Amino acid sequence: MRTHTALHILCGVIWRDYGVSVTGGGMKPLSARMDFELESMSTDFADEVQKRINREVEAARPIEIGSLPREEAFAIPDLIRTKINLLPPHIVKIRTVDIVGLDLQADGGTHVANTSEVGTIRVVGHESKGRINKRLRIEVDP
Ligand SMILES: [Zn+2]
């Protein structure tokens, strides 16, 4: 749950501060990777991202689970990031995860109740996965 929530914080910050979408991701307990639609990546950028995501941990933002009617959910452009349009048509209510003040997404996963519970997030690596596809690796404390 902490690692999954850390990924939300990461994609929320990258979206809010750089306007960049996620192209993929993966997770194991305590470590995760996320790929972004970025042309360039550097150690400086990774360091800056680490600072920014830990600011969100320190901000102790509440995380709220909600739901939206499908039509309303589709009307929020940011939710498209999460490939909500792949949902089967019979699903009329969309479950949402709101990191209050940072990021609202459609999501079915489990999360901690406050960003402070994630603890320090470390950006432990970055690599190129293609011309407009760059990966960040993160870890959280045991
Ligand atoms: Zn989630």
Q: Please list all protein residues whose beta carbon sits less than 5 angstroms from ligand 1, which is an ion.
A: 97, 107, 109
pLDDT number for residue 86? 67
Q: How far is the CA of 128 from the centre of ligand 1 (A)?
A: 25
Q: How far is the CA of 109 from the centre of ligand 1 (A)?
A: 4
**Own/partner pairs for 58-61, CB < 8 Å, 24+ apart?**
58/116, 59/101, 59/115, 60/114, 60/115, 60/116, 61/99, 61/100, 61/101, 61/102, 61/114, 61/115
Least confident of 44-48, 106-110, 135-139: 106-110
Whether pLDDT at 62 is above 90: yes
Q: How far is the CA of 111 from the centre of ligand 1 (A)?
A: 6
Q: How far is the CA of 19 from the centre of ligand 1 (A)?
A: 19
Q: How far is the CA of 108 from the centre of ligand 1 (A)?
A: 6
Whether pLDDT at 74 is above 90: no
pLDDT number for residue 77? 77
pLDDT number for residue 80? 61
pLDDT number for residue 78? 76
Q: Rounded to whole angstroms, how far apart are CA atoms 83 and 64?
A: 20
Whether pLDDT at 89 is above 90: no
pLDDT number for residue 75? 87
pLDDT tens per residue across span 32-55: 999 999 999 999 999 999 999 999
Q: Is 3 helix (H, G, I), strand (E, B) or coil?
A: helix
Mean pLDDT, rounded, of the chain: 92
Q: How far is the CA of 38 from the centre of ligand 1 (A)?
A: 22
